[in-house]
């Protein structure tokens, strides 16, 4: 749990790359990202 929280914080705190612009990503990319993130949460 703590690891995942730290990863989320580090990702959200990175400058420039993924602020709120991820809304502009296509649904397909979002689905892939969500899928990978779920796998990471399960296996991490």
| DSSP state, residue 21 | G
Residue 28 is predicted with a pLDDT of 82
**Residue 9 pLDDT more than 60?**
no
Q: Which is higher by pLDDT, 35 or 21?
A: 35
Q: Which contacts (CB < 8 Å, 24+ apart) does range 33-39 have? A: none
Q: Which residue has the tokens 């991490």?
A: 44
The rounded mean pLDDT for the chain is 64
Q: Is the pLDDT of residue 24 over 80?
A: no
Angle between helix 27-43 and 2-13 (nearest 10): 150
Please name the residues in contact with 3: beta carbons below 8 A apart, sequence gap of 6 or more.
Answer: 44
What is the pTM for the complete model shown? 0.32
How far does Cα 2 stand from its chain's mean position?
15
């Amino acid at each position: 749990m703590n690891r995942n929280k730290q990863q989320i914080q580090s990702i959200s705190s990175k400058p420039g790359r993924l602020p709120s612009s991820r809304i502009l990503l296509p649904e397909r990319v979002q689905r892939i990202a969500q899928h990978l993130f779920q796998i990471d949460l399960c296996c991490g």
